[in-house]
Amino acid sequence: MTLPTGIIINVLSVAIGGLVGTLVGHKLSLDFKENLNMIFGVCAMTMGISSIVLMENMPAVIFAVVVGTAIGLAIHFGALIAKGCAVMEGVVSKVLPKKESAISEEEFRSTLITIIVLFCASGTGIYGSIVAGMTGDQTILIAKSILDIFTAMIFACLLGPVVSFIALPQFVIFMLLYALAGVIYPLTTPAMIGDFKACGGILLLATGFRMIKVKMFPTADMIPAMVLVMPISWFWVNVIMPIL
């Protein structure tokens, strides 16, 4: 197994971007930050659309997104992540003074959840970690890092140092996938990978809409779809399709 260079670069991009944003954020106008944040939202949506076009089996992906989101809502997965955000914020505030923010506490938590999903649970990051662990190809995660460092910088202008600490759960999640890649990747097919990336693209698209504040999709509750999509894709191709 090769050194996880892509994961290290991606994690550092979030940590460094968050640190820089915290230090220089007060020098940027609120209008500048909001407008640039909209650009990053569009970039996230663009990444999502580029992944969605790789879809092989639309019924399987749609079914996974609907059922996965329903499960997430039923078990209050988003609320669990929100509690985790509150714990992380509390720990950070004990180490570093909380940054005064121009946004409300509710919007602070909502924005924090949005970027946790963007950094830790995007299809690009998950797939990139699996590919890096299986083939040694780090380019997917390195490309993601370019967007992440600037996104973290802008969000840290609003949220403060807590953004840098998102690198910790991101590292744990990506390294776990990296370590399990040897088990996961051989069980997949090109169609399953395409559907998986498309599902992640849908989450990125929803995240983009949240970032530009058009519609607050329950992106955290949509995460279980990422677990379901490959098994459902396999079932669709091997069981349902032969019947039709």
Residue-level pLDDT at 176: 92
Q: Are 139 and 6 in contact (CB under 8 A)?
A: yes
Residue-level pLDDT at 48: 85
Residue-level pLDDT at 236: 96
Residue-level pLDDT at 171: 94
Q: Are 233 and 60 in contact (CB under 8 A)?
A: yes
Residue-level pLDDT at 6: 92
pTM: 0.80
Cβ neighbours for 84, distance < 8 A, ≥ 6 positions apart: 169
Residue-level pLDDT at 61: 96
Q: Are 156 and 19 in contact (CB under 8 A)?
A: yes
pLDDT, averaged in runs of 10, over the chain (244 residues) = 86 94 79 77 85 93 96 91 75 64 68 79 78 82 87 84 89 92 84 89 87 84 91 95 88
